[in-house]
Amino acid sequence: MQKPPQQVDFALKETSPNIGAGAITGDKLSCTYDLVEQMQYLYVRVVKAKDLPAKDVTGSCDPYVEVKLGNYKGITKHFEKKSNPEWNQCFAFSKERIQASTLEVLIKDKDVVIDDLIGRVIFELNDIPKRVPPDSPLAPQWYRLEDRKGDKAKGELMLAVWMGTQADEAFPDAWHSDAAAVGPDGVANIRSKVYLSPKLWYVRVNVIEAQDLQPSDKSRYPEVFVKATLGNQALRTRTSQSKSINPMWNEDLMFVVAEPFEEPLILTVEDRVGSNKDEQLGKCLISLQTVQRRLDHKPVNTRWFNLERYIMVDGEQKKETKFASRIHLRICLDGGYHVLDESTHYSSDLRPTAKQLWRPSIGILELGVISAVGLMPMKTKDGRGTTDAYCVAKYGQKWVRTRTIVDSSTPRWNEQYTWEVFDPCTVITIGVFDNGHIHGDKGGGGKDSRIGKVRIRLSTLETDRVYTHSYPLLVLHSSGVKKMGEVQLAVRFTCSSLINMLHMYSHPLLPKMHYIHPLSVIQLDSLRHQAMQIVSMRLSRAEPPLRKEVVEYMLDVDSHMWSMRRSKANFFRIMGVLSGLIAVGKWFDQICNWKNPLTTILIHILFIMLVLYPELILSTVFIYLFLIGIWNFRWRPRHPPHMDTRLSHADAVHPDELDEEFDTFPTSRPSDIVRMRYDRLRSIAGRVQTVVGDLATQGERFQSLLSWRDPRASTLFVTFCLIAAIVLYVTPFQVVALLIGIYMLRHPRFRHKLPSVPLNFFRRLPARSDSML
């Protein structure tokens, strides 16, 4: 069944940006930077000055440099009492915004009332040289300073001035004229950066046994368990079945940890002495630097660790010296697993932790973040709506962040990034955010607001083709789905070896340890949550930070939460999958009822041929699938998939269901609303319960065929089985198949509307529903 087309407003649009990919003209960027539009910049690198004259009454000089181009003005930091300062700062002025014909570089003396001019250097824009990488950087030169009249002044300034593009290596760290309103505290927060996720390991702690424990109450059997803590993760074993001073567990506890290992693993052996009271029998600290790293399923050596106990002496904690308890452990860092830090449905990396187990890369993914259009205002400034947008892209361990374009609803980034690809069945995620920290972190409580995100699965891309599309940025709010704008991207997936890539399709999706020693679904879910927390914490400590709310949105932290909308969407997805089978069933029913006599006769002939020549059955099925595939090739998708509001069931969702989806956990809604939602959930669960019960009933009826629960029914079935065995033994199989097929395809005049005898017999069989309370 064909889906109706999406609303044009939410649809993907193919674009034709003026990028270098595929062009041969010499005016384009170099071939390594060809997925973005060329942007011209005037670069000014202020290196240092020397022999600056004293201007103050005190005989000292507090110099800083002001780079002036028309209405744009960039200022370096100032030095106090220094006549030979070094700045080494770079300024970039967008050529399309330049309205002046000269560039002025002024050195001024910082003063309380008015800053004095020490000297200046003037450049005509027509005389400034042009540089395109891979040319080497332009060497800075010394320039003599002039006063306002054009006469020579004392002092010299070292500068480099050139025209370049965003491919220039000075671009990421330069001060940009389009961010002139950003103060010095916020400049770091608007620059483009590349981040790397920390290297994550699974820590497996196999708690085997403990010896010579010393509980305070010797008269009772100790109920001992082990509590393990690593950072903010805490797990505990079950209470030992052997209630003695030498308890045994042989239980595995799994943790996530990131390199470098900052915190030790803390194990405490505790005795449950009361309903809410645990007594600590010993403690052990283990540094993870000393733990063995395992690459396969072979068990590591066990070790005994001494337990320590601290006692209070004169109000101070002191280690008890005469204490001989110990614990037997098998600890290892499992490098054979892939530590999941994102949803398994759209993982961007599937490699194991240990680098020795990595396969060679199969290709390169290149992403050009070109621009965005129609962005909604995300905050209010001076009584008007404004947006300070930047992009974040995540693939594998590498995160990239573009620079922030200040106060623009149509930002143009034109930045290009590259990733190595190790598996084609992975997904790159691109998110657009509004920067809430362009004036520094003094405000404290500001957050970077989400504008929308795009996911692109690499396996849906043709190799070596440049995809240029404008993707709708759709965000679900409590008021409904909303289009926040569009982001224009250029994507190219280049394959280094087609044979290696096709061979990848025969490999398991995850490393082999996930299949040899599988982790439970509950374990994986808990470990994924811990991994997400570690990644978001580490990236938020970078400079500039990739903030927690950004990382969590990119990693879909809340994707496991209950949502009525998502449940409906998944139900309709299942129905979409089953619709093909339902259509085949309806078609076969039409054949059986002779709706089209010619088709039914052809099906009779085909059926008789397959029965007479059974060796043709499989080849006929495969040739049919081949022909369908070739036929569908003409209508293959020409663009990457994108966020689908109809598939997500976001375009027709009830407001109360959205309010429930955006509710906190635990709930913060009034009790009457919670009661209403609980009753609604009970009614849905009641219907699910009925369906599950009906499925169980059908299965139990099959079981009762030979269980003699109904002795008459079992007698009839056993007798039928005996007769059928004799008949089938003496009758050729082809004859039986032919008779059954002709019976199934018989004409409607030989049918009646009552259910068939086998179906009547089956429905009369007993099930265990009679025994349900």
| Topology classification of domain 200-334 | Immunoglobulin-like (2.60.40)
Q: Tokens standing for 467?
A: 């995809």
Residue 205 has pLDDT above 50, yes or no: yes
pLDDT band at 185 (very low <50, low <70, confident <90, very high): low
Q: Is 627 helix (H, G, I), strand (E, B) or coil?
A: helix
Q: Which two tokens stand for residue 500?
A: 């290696």
Cα dist from 678 to 244, 251, 667, 673, 763, whole Å:
46, 38, 12, 9, 35
Q: What is the 3-state secondary structure (H, E, C) of 708-746?
A: CCCHHHHHHHHHHHHHHHHHHHHCCHHHHHHHHHHHHCC
User: pLDDT at residue 283 above 50?
Assistant: yes
Q: What angle do CA 421, 423, 425 make, to 5 degrees?
A: 120
Average pLDDT over residues 9-33: 65
Residue 687, classed as helix, strand or coil, is helix
Q: What is the 3-state secondary structure (H, E, C) of 221-283?
A: CCCEEEEEEECCEEEECCCCCCCCCCCEEEEEEEEEEECCCCCCEEEEEEEEEECCEEEEEEE
Give the separation between CA 475 and CA 519, rounded to whole angstroms.
34
Least confident range from 1-10, 154-163, 489-498, 710-719: namely: 1-10
Residue 183: DSSP 8-state: -
The string of pLDDT tens digits covering residues 653-701 is 888 888 888 888 888 889 999 899 889 889 989 999 999 999 999 999 9
Structure tokens, 310 = 């601290």
Give me the sign of the Cα torsion angle 446, 380, 475, 459. Answer: negative
Percent of the chain with pLDDT over 90: 47
Query: What angle (nearest 5°) sits at the alpha carbon of residue 133, between those of residues 130 and 135?
Result: 75
Query: Does a cis peptide bond (omega within 30 degrees of 0) precede residue 545?
Result: no
Q: Ramachandran region of residue 414, left (φ > 0), alpha (ψ -120 to 50) or beta?
A: left
pLDDT at 316: 64
Give the DSSP H or E segment for 10: none
Which residues make Cβ contacts (< 8 Å) with residue 415, sequence separation at least 6? 36, 166, 192, 368, 369, 391, 400, 402, 403
Residue 262 binned pLDDT confidence (cut-offs 50, 70, 90): confident
Per-residue pLDDT band at 100 (split at 50, 70, 90): confident
Taking the C-alpha atoms of residue 362 and residue 500, their distance in angstroms, rounded to an integer, is: 6
225 touches 282 (CB < 8 A): no
Residues 6 or more apart whose Cβ sits within 8 Å of residue 487: 369, 371, 372, 391, 430, 432, 452, 454, 470, 471, 473
- Which pLDDT band, with edges at 50, 70 and 90, does 21 fall under? low
Residue with tokens 């660790």: 305
The domain made up of 40-192 is a member of CATH 3.40.50.10860: no
Q: What is the pTM of this model?
A: 0.84
The residues facing 658 across adjacent strands are: none
For residues 9 and 472, the answer to whether their CB atoms sit within 8 Å is: yes
- Residue-level pLDDT at 24: 41
Closest by CA position to 338, among listed 177, 87, 515: 515
DSSP 707: T
Q: Which two tokens stand for residue 632?
A: 């569908």
Question: What 8-state DSSP symbol labels residue 410?
Answer: S
Q: What percent of the chain lies above the pLDDT cut of 70?
A: 94
3-state class (DSSP) for residue 487: strand
Per-residue exposure over 331-359, b if at least 16 CB sit within 10 Å of its own CB, e if not: bbbbbbbbbbbbeeebbbbbbbbbeebee
Residue 278, number of CB atoms within 10 A of its CB: 16
Report the pLDDT value the prediction gives residue 26, as an integer from 0 to 100: 43
Residue 522 parent element (H or E): helix 521-540
Q: pLDDT at position 493, please?
A: 94
- In tens, the pLDDT along 606-616 reads 888 888 888 88
Q: Is the pLDDT of residue 2 over 60?
A: no
> Which range scores top for mean pLDDT: 221-225, 414-418, 648-652, 734-738?
414-418
What's the pLDDT score for residue 641? 84
Cite the residue boundaries of each domain of the chain with CATH code 2.60.40.150.
40-192, 200-334, 359-555
**Residue 534 near residue 258, CB atoms below 8 Å:** yes
The whole-number pLDDT of residue 30 equals: 44
CA–CA dist 440, 189 (Å, integer)? 7
pLDDT reported for residue 560: 76
The reported pLDDT for the residue numbered 73 is 87
The span from the CA of 732 to the CA of 736, in Å, is 7
Encode 664-697: b = buried (16+ Cβ within 10 Å), e = exposed: eeeeeeeeeeeeebeeeeeeeeeeeeeeeeeeee
Tell me what pLDDT residue 558 has: 78
Q: For the segment 462-503, what is each residue's pLDDT rounded down to a tens digit?
A: 999 999 999 999 988 888 888 999 999 999 999 988 888 899
pLDDT interval class at 1 (50, 70, 90): very low
Judged by DSSP in three states, 576 sits in: helix
Peptide bond connecting 508 to the previous residue in cis, omega within 30 degrees of 0? no
pLDDT of residue 215: 83
- Confidence class for position 28, pLDDT limits 50, 70, 90: very low
- Determine how many CB atoms are found less than 10 A away from the CB of residue 175: 21
- For 113-170, write each residue's pLDDT tens digit: 788 888 999 999 998 998 877 778 889 999 999 988 878 888 899 999 999 888 888 8
Contacts of 386 (CB under 8 A, 6+ apart): 377, 378, 379, 380, 407
Is residue 108 within 8 Å of residue 117, measured between CB atoms?
Answer: yes
The residue type of 301 is: N
Q: Is the pLDDT of residue 740 over 70?
A: yes
Q: What is the mean pLDDT of residues 581-597?
A: 89
Q: What pLDDT was estimated at residue 6?
A: 55
pLDDT at residue 291 tops 60: yes
Determine the Cα angle at 44 with ends 389 and 152, to 5°: 145
Confidence band (pLDDT; 50, 70, 90) for 82?
confident
The type of residue at 491 is V
What mean pLDDT is reported for the chain? 87
- The reported pLDDT for the residue numbered 314 is 60
**Cis previous bond, 134, omega within 30:** yes
Of the given ranges (179-188, 345-354, 514-523, 709-718), which has the lowest mean pLDDT? 179-188
Provide mean pLDDT across the span 394-405.
Answer: 93
User: Of 549, 543, 567, nearest to 653 (Cα)?
Assistant: 567
Provide the CATH topology of domain 359-555.
Immunoglobulin-like (2.60.40)
Mean pLDDT to the nearest integer, 243-270: 91
Q: Tens digit of pLDDT for each residue in 419-434? A: 999 999 999 999 999 9
The SS3 call for residue 166 is coil
- pLDDT given for residue 25 in this prediction: 42
SS3 435: coil
Residue 198 is classified by DSSP as P
